[in-house]
Amino acid sequence: MKALIYILPILFSFLVQSQELVPISKAEVLTKVSENNTSIKISVEEFNQAQADYRQTNAVFLPNITASHTAIATTNPLMAFGSKLNQGILTQNDFNPALLNNPSQVENYATKLEIQQPLINLDGVYQRKAAKSKMEAMSLKTERTQDYLEFEVDKAYMQLQLAYEAVEVLEKALEAANANKKLADDSFKQGYLQRADVLNVDVRVTEVQNQLQMAKSNIQNASNYLSFLMNDETYVLYTPTDKLSVSTFTVNDRTVSENRSDIKAMEFASKAYEAMNKADKMAFLPRLNAFGSYELYDDQVFQGDASGYLFGAQLSWDIFQGSKRFGKAQKSKAEFEQSKLEYEQYVSQSNLELNKAKRAFLDAENSLQLTSLALEQSEESLRIRTNRFKEGLEKTSDLLIAETQYAQKQLEYYQTIFEYNYAQAYLQFLTKE
């Protein structure tokens, strides 16, 4: 069992080292994310859908043009007489009652070009405005998705930096623990230490090995998450080109702007609901449309010796649809009012989140000062106790405590830097216009 405890970290380290290590900067990650990230591509396709819906509303202004060619053969008295009339081939003999009532088969080929032109459709105009507002909202949603992914890249890259800092700290801690173990073994052989003290040192070595293994797993996790963000299925191990360091930032004048893309998108969504409500109201008014057609007739296919045209205008008014339109207008009105309330709630929640983020940043700033001081103190304490232990003036347990504390303070310090920088990135994300 004891051999297994020592073999597992070695095996894990071998597997990690066998993977390809790829240096990468945050700028490179941002570029690859903007080009390849699936969430951005999905958001772009959602915008394309909204844009296509908006283009469909061009039908409110543009004509509808259709062309058709129809071929029939009939002995129906009315159809046979009408077909001959359209072809312009009626003769005096065709008015014979016997032939009118029992005509022979007549073939008719008609080519027709038809145009329908909307003139006044007020409900369609407001539906077009709603579609445009939705398209603009989806454009802003795409922009906010990109902002969020930039924030995620900041966080993931810092997690990768933090994982490498933890590995470096723990490797040094393991090196120190092994050196202390050698001293403890020598002291035990000389009769200066008891077996229990040596076992405590062994436990410490095992603990550090376990922590180091977990830190290396965190490197893999952070690398895999970066690969996911970049839509890279190779899942290599990344190494940051720069180390984790404290960033500078001011929070005093930071506010949530109503021009922030997600807030602006909700505003456009509310405008879309408003336009739809107006469209439902305008559906109570009549519609005016023009129409026209040009027709060619013949008893031979694609000939058209006879022709005629038709044009006119239609004023139509759906006076009552079983109260269906009243209910539709009432529903769209409620949706519009709901969208206004959701917008107000979202802005209020964003301000609440900003205040919370500001406090988190100040807490992280204060914690950074304290952990920096604690790190210096623990380092000095370990130096003193190590020197005293080498001279046989310090207990093994006290040295282990000082060694453990120093490693913990180093990890806490880098964790605090991460939290401090993360708080800055989150504040920038919340206050970005």
* 336-383 pLDDT, tens digit each: 999 999 999 999 999 999 999 999 999 999 999 999 999 889 888 888
- Mean pLDDT, all residues of the chain: 87
Is residue 71 domain-resident?
no
Q: What confidence score (pLDDT) does residue 1 get? A: 42
Rounded mean pLDDT of 137-160? Answer: 95
In percent, the amount of the chain with pLDDT more than 90 equals 56
Decide if 354 contacts 420 (C-beta within 8 A): no
State which residues form the domain around 226. 2-36+121-283+318-431
Is residue 45 domain-resident?
no
Q: What confidence score (pLDDT) does residue 14 get? A: 46
Decide if 244 contacts 414 (C-beta within 8 A): yes
**Phi, psi (5° rounding) for residue 193?**
-125, 155
The region of weakest confidence among 75-89, 100-114, 252-266, 378-392 is 378-392
pTM of the model: 0.81
- Of 398, 261, 278, the closest CA to residue 335 belongs to 278
Rounded mean pLDDT of 198-202? Answer: 81
Cα angle value 219/223/225 (rounded, 5°): 120
Pairing type for strands 21-24 and 64-74 reads unpaired
Secondary structure class of 258 (helix, strand, coil): coil
* pLDDT for residue 2 is more than 60: no
The region of weakest confidence among 17-31, 85-99, 175-189 is 175-189
Rounded mean pLDDT of 225-249? Answer: 90
Is residue 350 domain-resident?
yes
Q: What confidence score (pLDDT) does residue 194 get? A: 77
* CATH number of domain containing 273: 1.20.1600.10
Q: What confidence score (pLDDT) does residue 187 get? A: 73
Is residue 312 domain-resident?
no
Is residue 8 domain-resident?
yes
User: How far is the C-alpha of 382 from the C-alpha of 404, rounded, in Å?
Assistant: 9
User: How far is the C-alpha of 48 from the C-alpha of 362, rounded, in Å?
Assistant: 42
Q: What confidence score (pLDDT) does residue 8 get? A: 46
Q: What confidence score (pLDDT) does residue 433 get? A: 78
The region of weakest confidence among 4-18, 96-110, 243-257, 260-274 is 4-18
Find the DSSP H helices in 88-194.
97-101, 122-189
Amino acid at 108: N
Q: Between 359 and 300, whose confidence is greater?
A: 359
Residue 4: pLDDT band by 50, 70, 90 thresholds? Answer: very low
Number of domains in the chain: 1
Question: What pLDDT digit, counting tens, does each position of 242-286 carry?
Answer: 888 888 777 667 889 889 999 999 999 999 999 999 999 998 889
**Burial tier of 328 (Cβ tally within 10 Å: 0-12, 13-18, 19+):** middle
Structure tokens at 417: 């830097």
Phi-psi bin for 322: left (phi > 0), alpha (psi -120 to 50), beta? left
Is residue 290 domain-resident?
no
Decide if 288 contacts 314 (C-beta within 8 A): yes
Q: What confidence score (pLDDT) does residue 300 get? A: 77
Q: Residues with Cβ < 8 Å from 201, sequence gap 6 or more?
A: 177, 180, 181, 184, 396, 400
List strand residue ranges (DSSP E) for 169-321, in order: 237-240, 287-298, 306-316
- Of 318, 414, 382, 351, the closest CA to residue 177 belongs to 382
Is residue 330 domain-resident?
yes
Is residue 309 domain-resident?
no
Structure tokens at 76: 């129906």
Secondary structure class of 1 (helix, strand, coil): coil
The region of weakest confidence among 149-153, 316-320, 328-332 is 316-320
Q: What confidence score (pLDDT) does residue 193 get? A: 66
